[in-house]
Amino acid sequence: MGVFDKLKNGLKKTRESIAQKIDQVLVSFGKVDEELFEELEEILITADVGVETSVAIIDQLRDMVKKEKITTAEGVRQAIKRIIAERLSDEQSGLNLSTTPSVIVIIGVNGVGKTTSIGKLAYLLKSQGKQVLVAAADTFRAAAIDQLEIWTKRAGVDIVKHSEGADPSAVVFDAIQSAKSRKVDVLICDTAGRLHTKKNLMEELKKLFRIINRELPGAAVETLLVLDATTGQNAVSQAKTFSEVSQLTGLILTKLDGTAKGGIILSIKNELNVPVKFVGVGEQMDDLQPFIPQDFAEALMAAE
């Protein structure tokens, strides 16, 4: 199965909740009028695109229909596809890995798929010919280190770990020294995800970034927040919380294949203006894909 087919397959449930309903409405309406716009807006809201974002998309559609004199259902469909791709486009969609080493800090609450995302990202980067090292700095959650070790073995990359309960910053410090001495291309750092102890967690993250900046001045640092697409609007709240303490450079949206709430991508982008850099569309090692807005819009609005 090709990359686009995997994405299309992974978006099946979301497509059913958005594209298929849009098609049904377009078929049942004889003309492009205000009533049609209201119906389309409602579909987007119920698919977790969010009220504010849905209203903005339909306002944009109204303008496009008027400007381009769109009168057919297919014309409206293509216009929606263009609007979605345009709203998700971002010049910083790729990773900045311009230094040796470059650092990717992975953050997010427990249960969103952080560990699996790290394993799959390490595998993806290794398959691109990069030497990757992983720092197991989530030292608080029971079995977090063991789980990460399993995934790094699958990906074929090395891991720097301490015992459970160790200081996360010490793990990162040791990993940086190892990365420098071995001339590693990319260091991926796992972090704890205990959002219920928000103050401690956020202080911990700040300390971790201070060590990275001190030990690797001028290094390219990506801070990627992992979000579970199945949680819908809750994912937006998590993104807002983490963006308060971390300069997020991108998002990894997991479990897209298990939800009809893939429209959440549009809501997050609209409210936070943080680019989605990867999407998870399955359980396999190569199911974490770089996010390409045009492909997402095509797969979302594709005919079955």
Q: Is residue 255 part of an annotated ligand binding site?
A: yes
CB 87 within 8 A of CB 154: no
Rounded Cα–Cα distance for residues 71 and 291 (Å) = 32
Q: Supply 116's token pair.
A: 């699996």
Q: Supply 157's token pair.
A: 């990359």
Q: Is residue 259 part of an annotated ligand binding site?
A: no
Tokens 């609450």, residue located: 109
Q: Is residue 254 part of an annotated ligand binding site?
A: yes
Q: Is residue 111 part of an annotated ligand binding site?
A: yes
Q: Is residue 256 part of an annotated ligand binding site?
A: yes
Q: Is residue 190 part of an annotated ligand binding site?
A: yes
CA atoms within 13 A on the CB side of 166: 19
Give kind and range of the element (H or E) at residue 194. Answer: none
Q: Is residue 109 part of an annotated ligand binding site?
A: yes
Q: Is residue 165 part of an annotated ligand binding site?
A: no
Q: Is residue 194 part of an annotated ligand binding site?
A: yes
Rounded Cα–Cα distance for residues 129 and 126 (Å) = 5
Q: Is residue 167 part of an annotated ligand binding site?
A: no
Collapsing DSSP states into helix, strand and coil, what is residue 48?
coil
Q: Is residue 112 part of an annotated ligand binding site?
A: yes
Rounded Cα–Cα distance for residues 134 and 187 (Å) = 6
Q: Supply 16's token pair.
A: 């059913």
Give the strands of the sheet with 102-107, arranged side by side.
158-160, 132-135, 186-189, 102-107, 221-228, 250-254, 276-280, 288-290
Collapsing DSSP states into helix, strand and coil, what is residue 221?
strand
Inter-CA distances, 213 with 40, 91, 221, 240, Å: 47, 25, 9, 24
Residues at the binding site for GTP are: 108-115, 190-194, 254-257
Binding site listing: 108-115, 190-194, 254-257
